[in-house]
Amino acid sequence: MVSTQPVTPFANESDADLVRQTRDGRNAAFDLLVDRYNRRAYSAAYRLLGDAQDALDVTQDAFVRAYRRLDSLKEVERFPSWLMRIVTNHALNFRRSRGAGQRRASLDGIGADGASLREELPSASGDCPVVRVSAAELEVKARAAVAALPRPQRLALVLSSIEGMPQREVAEIMKCSVEAVKWHVFQARKRLRLALADYF
């Protein structure tokens, strides 16, 4: 249903206009919504799943679901948070159905994730190999600890504190208040501090 025509004519349209035009049958408009939001969608999926290939699958499926359900979107100006709700719900359900910790070995050539820790910790000093080893260990432990968080805490932490989404948008996605988002993030941080206590 999506046209392969250039999407340039829609470049200056708002998200809401693109949603309306897609509904009116100008399907190339949806291409631009994909172009605008595929990075944010993939990034959130990756951080919730921790696996590049799974995140690609979830991102693709989420956009397909969004396209199919576009008529159910009542407030068209809320397309971004509506899409992210589909992405995050699908990511969390995907993770649950596959089982925590299970990972695919192969990637399909689109790209690979950088496995190395890019920043030294504030307690790290110089080029000490021991510090680098413990930082790499911490990366693994931190990922595992985040993956083990209860679903609302993981979602609030990843979207709000890592993705940098406004808490009002996170609250919309989670269907809760902004104060509840803050509370989930706080609880997540406390749990992670305990789980990673050996590294501080």
Partner 1 sequence: MDPLAFEKLLSDALSEPQNADVRDRILQMIASSASLNRIRDDWLRLDLALRAALEAGPCGIDWAVLKQRIVAAIHSL
Residue 134 found at the interface with partner 1 (CB under 8 A): no
> Which residues, 138 to 197, sit near partner 1 by CB under 8 A?
138-139, 142-143, 146, 157-158, 160-162, 167, 182, 185-186, 189-190, 192-193, 196
Residue 25 found at the interface with partner 1 (CB under 8 A): no
Question: Is the Cβ of residue 96 or residue 190 nearer to partner 1 in the bound state?
Answer: 190
- Which member of 5, 14, 93, 123 binds partner 1 (CB under 8 A)? 123
CB of residue 108 vs partner 1: minimum separation in angstroms? Answer: 9
CB of residue 178 vs partner 1: minimum separation in angstroms? Answer: 10
Report the alpha-carbon distance of residue 10 to residue 1 in Å, rounded.
Answer: 17
Total site size for partner 1, rule CB under 8 A: 58
User: Which residues, 6 or more positions from 30, have their beta carbon under 8 angstroms from its beta carbon?
Assistant: 2, 18, 22, 67, 70
- Which member of 52, 83, 84, 149 binds partner 1 (CB under 8 A)? 52
Report the alpha-carbon distance of residue 170 to residue 188 in Å, rounded.
Answer: 15
Residue 42 found at the interface with partner 1 (CB under 8 A): yes
- Which member of 110, 127, 130, 198 binds partner 1 (CB under 8 A)? 110
Helical axes 52-68 vs 79-98, angle rounded to 10°: 130
Contact set with partner 1 (CB under 8 A): 1-2, 4, 30-31, 34-35, 38-39, 42-43, 46-47, 50, 52, 55-56, 59-60, 63-64, 67-68, 110-119, 121-123, 135, 138-139, 142-143, 146, 157-158, 160-162, 167, 182, 185-186, 189-190, 192-193, 196, 199-200
